[in-house]
Amino acid sequence: MMMAIQMYWQTFFADDSHLAYTSRTKNGPKPTDFGDIAIHYSQPASGYRYLKKIVLPTERQTISTDDIFYLFMKPFSHVHTIEDNTSGALSILSPIRMLANGWVYGFSYQKALDSKGCSDEGTGIAPDETIRTTKEGIGNGRGRVLE
């Protein structure tokens, strides 16, 4: 029998309680072997909260825990996300192991879905506004993202 576990994470940035994402952890050898659904909600912290406008830049190097942080921040009305997609590596990674030839590997063993039930694994989470800094802008000391 499948169960849903509700998890609430208090944050100083939350304007209200929002569904951030759901996750299921692999627990067997079959492709369909996953544990219970964990439903992750943001919950406003008691006391002080920061509700002024926040601009949250991301890029392809935004990975793993940063992706999850992004899922928590994206629903807030005062947060505007910019730059580029995240890496799209939204799950817990297995312990890193090394092969005899020196290569290292790890693998995801969790499935994470955003608040709309979509997987951003591999493609990354899209920002509200895509802005890319050019080489010319960097050379001139003017990055579009910072502007």
pLDDT tens digits for 92-102?
777 889 999 99
- pLDDT for residue 100: 95
- pLDDT for residue 1: 60
Please tell me whether residue 123 adopts helix, strand or coil conformation: coil
pLDDT tens digits for 92-139?
777 889 999 999 988 778 888 999 999 988 889 999 999 877 777 666
Of 79 and 138, more confident: 79
Q: Exposure of 134 by Cβ count < 10 A (0-12 exposed, 13-18 middle, 19+ buried)?
A: exposed
CA distance 131 to 124: 15
- pLDDT for residue 51: 95
- pLDDT for residue 143: 65
- pLDDT for residue 15: 92
Nearest to 83 by CA among 147, 131, 123: 131
Other C-beta atoms closer than 10 Å to the C-beta of 3 total 8
CA distance 97 to 109: 15
Task: Compute, in degrees rounded to 10, the torsion defined by CA atoms 10, 21, 93, 126.
Answer: -110
Please tell me whether residue 5 adopts helix, strand or coil conformation: strand
Long-range pairs, 97-106, Cβ under 8 A, ≥24: none
